């Protein structure tokens, strides 16, 4: 709680004392100064759900979902990598450069909202975004349904699960059902939390720092993030210091609510598998974890931290790399290789 008191004092000059109380203090009070919990085991699935998962995976890797049949969900969310594209901003059809960095689809099911600005409530609703975004897949549901219906095997696979066959709702249901399997359990940190193994000295120190610095007041819960909105630049003007023009994407939740207070507010990202998902931040501006941690300490906590402290926090963050999703067991992923 020491850090919160300090934050309140530091911000007393600005209006957001109430903001600090509501946004930083409340989550701490309700969740005990922030806690991280292990990924729960997946529930066994019935045979219809298993079919949906297989169909969902096919659709996730299906280029017909894009206007010129060139891009699939997996083009930007590489399933054999860590569910990202490793680009500062994604590239869609016709080489269009997107507006924002692609977050991973791994463990997205645990985020309380989808997208950096939280504009989609569910994984299903999220899918309307990429399919229709002119800088991503640039298609429409009519077109997608027409193209899928033209393929007999898709017709058959949909009918087996859904009486009404190929519809936008069913495409979304299948993909989201697949995405809910994309969880990466049994990270070294989860094993530590459940008492199965210890952390090495540096990672242990890093976890202590992560708590005492106050990182955990924003990055917490099952996804070590993904359960609240926060301003980027609580303790300093990140965007001014970045030196490049402010984009629409930088405005964060403001795009959704149009409320001044929501400018530069983002859903806090998950830190699971973060060692594998560079570059970092919504603008892809940090290319290493060390950079990202330094920026966070400065702009979110008003702290200058030493290289040694950064190394410890990075060592801790690396313990958040989990096992590859079991549903992908046929294809070995980096996440899996790391965890073994
Ligand atoms: C051209 C690259 C591209 C394609 C194709 C693409 N995505 Fe994304 N995806 C992104 C970007 C960029 C974001 C972040 C957008 C934002 O927050 O405004 C994103 C966000 C997401 C999220 C939210 C994750 C989170 O933590 O908020 C999910 C889930 C997702 N995509 C799934 C999909 C699915 C399913 C498809 C296929 C139907 C797909 N994506 C196609 C680039 C892409
Ligand atoms: C006040 C809330 C808050 C605090 C405190 C905070 N973060 Fe963050 N963190 C965020 C937000 C919001 C973002 C997304 C910012 C953006 O993309 O512009 C973020 C992004 C990150 C990222 C990049 C993740 C990615 O996938 O791009 C890392 C790594 C990170 N934080 C680590 C830390 C560490 C380590 C600390 C402590 C030194 C910390 N954070 C403290 C809110 C916070």
What is the number of the ligand 1 atom nearest to the C-alpha of 89? 12
Instruction: Report the C-alpha gap between 69 and 82 in whole angstroms.
Output: 23
Task: State the distance between the two ends of the chain, measured CA to CA, in whole angstroms.
Answer: 37
In ligand 1, which atom is closest to the CA atom of 91? Answer: 1
- Model confidence at 12, pLDDT cuts 50, 70, 90, reads very low
Q: Is residue 303 part of a domain?
A: yes
CA 32, CA 130: separation in Å to the nearest integer?
A: 37
What is the tens place of the pLDDT at every residue in 174-197? Answer: 999 999 999 999 999 999 999 999
Q: Which amino acid residue places its CA nearest to atom 5 of ligand 2?
A: 215
Kindly report the protein residue whose alpha carbon is nearest to atom 2 of ligand 1.
76
Residue 231 CA, closest ligand 2 atom number: 12
Q: Tell me the C-alpha to C-alpha distance, in Å, between residue 257 and each of 243, 262, 263.
A: 26, 7, 9
DSSP SS3 for 84: coil
Do 138 and 13 sit in the same domain of this protein?
no
Q: Is residue 27 included in any domain, yes or no?
A: yes
Residue of the CA atom closest to atom 17 of ligand 1:
115
Q: How many CB atoms lie within 10 A of CB 302?
A: 16
120 and 147 assigned to the same domain: yes
On whether residue 230 sits in a domain, the answer given is yes
Q: Is residue 153 part of a domain?
A: yes
> Closest ligand 1 atom, CA of 249?
18
* pLDDT class of 81 with cuts at 50, 70, 90: confident
Please determine, for residue 3, whether its predicted confidence score (pLDDT) is greater than 80: no
Q: How many domains, the chain?
A: 2
Cβ atoms of 259 and 19 within 8 Å: the answer is no
Does a structural domain hold residue 209?
Answer: yes
Q: How far is CA 249 from CA 53, 119, 146, 256, 330, in A?
A: 32, 12, 32, 11, 36
> Ligand 2: which of 84, 219, 278 to mutate, most ligand atoms within 8 Å of CB?
219
Same domain, 158 and 275: no
Q: Cα–Cα distance between 170 and 129 in angstroms, integer? A: 16
The answer on 257 and 230 residing in a single domain is yes
Q: Give residue 210's region: left, alpha or beta (phi > 0; psi -120 to 50).
A: alpha
The pLDDT of residue 24: 54
Let me know if residue 131 belongs to a domain.
yes
Do both 194 and 312 map to the same domain? yes
Does the beta carbon of 251 sit less than 6 angstroms from any atom of ligand 1?
A: no
* 199 and 107, same domain (yes or no): no
Task: State residue 33's pLDDT score.
Answer: 61
**Ligand 1 binding pocket includes 93 (Cβ within 6 Å):** no
State the residue range of the domain holding 167: 47-179
The last residue of one of the domains, among 141, 158, 179, is 179
Q: Which of 157, 179, 201 is the last residue of a domain?
A: 179
Please report which confidence band the pLDDT of residue 7 belongs to, taking 50, 70 and 90 as the band edges: very low
- pLDDT over 70 for what percent of the chain? 87
Q: Are residues 100 and 153 in the same domain?
A: yes
Asked whether residue 87 is domain-assigned, the answer is yes
At residue 157's C-alpha, the angle toward residues 154 and 163, to 5°, is 110
- Tell me the pLDDT tens digit for each residue of 197-215: 999 999 999 999 999 999 9
Pair 98, 212 in one domain:
no
What pTM was estimated for this model as a whole?
A: 0.91
Inside any domain, residue 340 = no
pLDDT surpasses 70 at 18: no
Q: Strand 229-231 to strand 265-267: parallel, antiparallel, or no bridges (unpaired)?
A: antiparallel
Shared-domain flag, residues 52 and 172: yes
User: Are the C-beta atoms of residues 10 and 235 closer than 8 Å to each other?
Assistant: yes
Q: Examine the domain organization and report whether 190 and 329 are in the same domain.
A: yes
More confident residue, 314 or 9: 314
Q: Report pLDDT for 195.
A: 94
194 shares a domain with 280: yes
Q: Is the pLDDT of residue 79 over 70?
A: yes
- Examine the pLDDT at 335 and tell me if it is beyond 60: no
Predicted confidence band of residue 4 (pLDDT cuts 50, 70, 90):
very low
Q: Ligand nearest 267 Cα, by number? A: 2
What does the alpha-carbon distance between residue 209 and residue 308 come to, in Å, rounded to a whole number? 11
For the CA atoms of 161, 165, 166, 168, the dihedral, rounded to the nearest 10 degrees, stands at: -80
Same domain, 134 and 276: no
Pocket of ligand 1 contains residue 273 by CB under 6 Å: no
Domain-terminating residue out of 179, 203, 218: 179
CA 297–ligand 2 middle distance (angstroms): 9
Catalytically active residues are 136
Residue 24 is given by DSSP the state I
Q: What is the pLDDT of residue 329?
A: 85
Averaged pLDDT for residues 165-174: 98
Residue 25 pLDDT class (50, 70, 90 cuts) = low
Separation CA 284–CA 4 (nearest Å): 28
Using an 8 Å Cβ cutoff, are 267 and 229 in contact?
Answer: yes
Q: In whole angstroms, what is the distance from residue 52 CA to residue 65 CA?
A: 17
Average pLDDT, integer, range 92-114: 97
Residue matched to tokens 């359960």: 227
CATH of the domain at 115: 1.10.760.10
Beta carbon of 127 within 6 Å of any ligand 1 atom = yes
pLDDT of residue 27: 47
């Amino acid at each position: 709680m020491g850090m919160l008191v300090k934050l309140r004092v530091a911000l007393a000059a600005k209006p957001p004392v109430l903001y600090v109380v509501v946004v930083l203090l409340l989550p701490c009070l309700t969740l005990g100064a922030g806690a991280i919990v292990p990924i729960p085991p997946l529930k066994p699935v019935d045979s219809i759900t298993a079919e949906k998962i297989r169909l969902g995976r096919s659709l996730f890797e299906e280029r017909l979902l894009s206007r010129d049949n060139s891009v699939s969900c997996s083009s930007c969310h590489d399933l054999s990598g860590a569910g990202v594209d490793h680009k500062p901003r994604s590239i869609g059809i016709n080489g269009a450069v997107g507006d924002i960095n692609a977050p991973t689809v791994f463990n997205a099911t645990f985020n309380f909202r989808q997208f950096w600005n939280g504009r989609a409530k569910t994984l299903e609703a999220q899918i309307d975004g990429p399919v229709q975004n002119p800088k991503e897949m640039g298609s429409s549901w009519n077109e997608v349904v027409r193209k899928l219906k033209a393929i007999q095997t898709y017709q058959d696979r949909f009918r087996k699960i859904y009486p009404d066959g190929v519809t936008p709702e069913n495409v979304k249901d299948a993909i989201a059902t697949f995405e809910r399997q994309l969880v990466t359990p049994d990270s070294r940190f989860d094993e530590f939390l459940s008492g199965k193994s210890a952390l090495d000295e540096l990672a242990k120190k890093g976890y202590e720092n992560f708590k005492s610095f106050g990182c955990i007041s924003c990055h917490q819960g099952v996804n070590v993030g993904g359960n609240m909105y926060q301003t980027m630049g609580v303790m300093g003007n990140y965007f001014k210091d970045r030196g490049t023009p402010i984009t629409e994407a930088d405005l964060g939740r403001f795009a959704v609510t149009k409320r001044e207070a929501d400018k530069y507010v983002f859903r806090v990202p998950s830190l699971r598998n973060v060692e594998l998902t560079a570059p970092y931040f919504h603008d892809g501006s940090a290319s290493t974890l060390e950079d990202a941690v330094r920026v966070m300490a400065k702009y979110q906590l008003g702290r200058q931290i030493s290289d040694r402290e950064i190394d410890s926090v990075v060592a801790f963050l690396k313990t958040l790399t989990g096992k590859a999703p079991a549903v992908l067991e046929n294809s070995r992923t980096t996440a899996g290789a790391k965890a073994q």
